[in-house]
Amino acid sequence: MSTLKIFTQVVDVNEKAWALQEYHAQSPGSKGFRRYRDIGVNRDGEIAIYREDLGDAKKWKGIRQINIPSLWEHSVEELIELAIALRYETNIDVKDWLELDNAKFE
């Protein structure tokens, strides 16, 4: 059984996020590949995806795909700043970047 994804068209840069991903994927209508950014946020107790089209994948050649977990510890703005900083990194300790040693999960 498949599940339906929930999407949102609006996020506040100060709201907490579940995760951020940047990746290349086929564009709608099969008109080439694009770079997308997905940010998971809370909408009525469910994780909703906010998707941004960052442009033609050819402009992002050599830039790796990014997956940054946040687990509600970081804001949308903080995750975007981390993604921008990590795009060109090759050796990344995500646990250190996100300071997950200090995170308290309830």
pLDDT in tens, 44-84: 999 999 999 999 999 988 888 899 999 999 999 999 999 99
Which residue did the predictor score with more confidence, 4 or 8?
Answer: 8
Domain-located, residue 36 = yes
Residue identified by tokens 């068209």 is 9
105, pLDDT greater than 70: no
Rounded CA-CA distance 106/103 in Å is: 10
106, pLDDT greater than 60: no
Domain-located, residue 51 = yes
pLDDT for res 34: 95
Average pLDDT value for the chain: 86
Q: What is the DSSP letter of 14?
A: T
- Split into its structural domains, the chain has a count of 1
Domain carrying residue 41: 6-102
